[in-house]
Structure 1
């Protein structure tokens, strides 16, 4: 028998995936967001909306809205910051479009016929559906398969789940190029700052927690 799960940020990209997964498992869902799901798409049966702007100046109003949304809920999944106690994830497959997409900050490279990728970096991207499965597992009190416990907020144990493959950035660029039938030439660029150092050190990888099932190539084929 399903329970009641509150999903903070339930109208966002990850939130919608969690809502679909929870509803498919028979749970009642309370979506907590600034906008009603109906503003974006029809709400499925079993989904109620609670309006709450987490960035509002009136903290008392926010607290009251959250208290109403969480009252009687068996679990809360927070997709607004990726730090739900129980599970969090590596980068989504969509993340790589920040480098490859024409509308990205590096989009100017496309006009030169180049496909930039971050040098000496590897990624273990994961599909949103796999993330949703892990988050709903955690909400149900089920340990996501193969996870690596790491310290989380409020002294909780948070499992970081990753995609099924660890790929060099160069290989993801080549996969994107094949999928888009592009003639742009892959070229490595140095990603500066702390973010570049983070990726080059491999701190974005959790090879022992490869719970994802949908590969980057499979995701590309669906686009």
Structure 2
């Protein structure tokens, strides 16, 4: 049994990692700004309130307490707004320093396939997170994954709430784009394997002197329109699927197929099976 700290352990990816690590019998510490709701707590885990963007003294004290005696740290933190994205830069630096002070055996960070090839602001911040953690003096494994099954719901809607376009009677999807969606549970499996020291095969030297980058993708490559049609059928909807342009660096990244790694199929749960599991 190992002691594994999961940073961002109350977010979607972090929760999946916590569940996977706990199911394997590890001692799991959940690090996040807010405690999980009672119904979201995983039995046998402990919570540590840590805000990576808090005041210097508070962050140092909180991280030192949370990481003391840990064998591995999995960073599944996230931030979408410009302010929150500092968790990938400022926060990553603080986490790297704390892991080194604690003598943690390894750091594992969740990232995105080919993130260093995109000019999208969020991707630039994630690439910097990889670099900062990999240069922190602790052996690091970067696990780059394709988009989660949930990604298209940014356009279509989620949790019973329709997206803006869907409320107008349409189901919009990025035009000319394919995805290789992967289940959160499959990503969590790869992250916990890496935390145990046995990451998926195919790793290459990472952005730091003592880092490895592993790339994983979903089991199939699908056109966004086909995914939207499957989503529509699973939800009993009749709205027409409409391709819309996705402008800017992110649209360019997707249309160029840089989000795909067909030679790195790792996930086992297909998109349609995932939809069926949530019906």
TM-score (norm 1): 0.89
Are 2:6 and 1:7 aligned? yes
Q: How does 1:27-176 map to 2 (within 5 A)?
A: 27-38=26-37, 41-45=40-44, 47-56=45-54, 58-81=55-78, 82-83=110-111, 85-86=140-141, 87-101=143-157, 107-145=163-201, 147=202, 149=204, 151-152=206-207, 156-176=211-231
Q: Distance in 2 between matches of 1:102 and 1:108?
A: 11
Are 2:199 and 1:201 aligned? no
Residues 66/126 of structure 1: CA separation in 2 closer, same or farther (3 Å cut): same
Are 2:217 and 1:219 aligned? no
Residues 188/153 of structure 1: CA separation in 2 closer, same or farther (3 Å cut): farther
Quick check: 202-211 or 107-116, which moved more? 107-116
Equivalenced residue count is 219
Deviation at 1:112, TM superposition (A): 3.8
Deviation at 1:11, TM superposition (A): 1.1
- Check conservation: 1:150, 1:160, Cα contact below 8 A: no
Deviation at 1:110, TM superposition (A): 2.3
Quick check: 106-115 or 61-70, which moved more? 106-115
Deviation at 1:40, TM superposition (A): 5.6
Residues 181/148 of structure 1: CA separation in 2 closer, same or farther (3 Å cut): farther
- Check conservation: 1:106, 1:116, Cα contact below 8 A: no
**SS of residue paired to 1:188:** strand
- Check conservation: 1:148, 1:208, Cα contact below 8 A: no
Deviations 1:151-210 (CA, angstroms, capped at 9, x unpaired): 346662221211111111111111111111211111111100111001101111111211
TM-score (norm 2): 0.72
Q: Distance in 1 between matches of 2:250 and 2:41?
A: 37
Q: Distance in 2 between matches of 1:178 and 1:114?
A: 14
- Check conservation: 1:118, 1:169, Cα contact below 8 A: yes
Residues 102/184 of structure 1: CA separation in 2 closer, same or farther (3 Å cut): farther
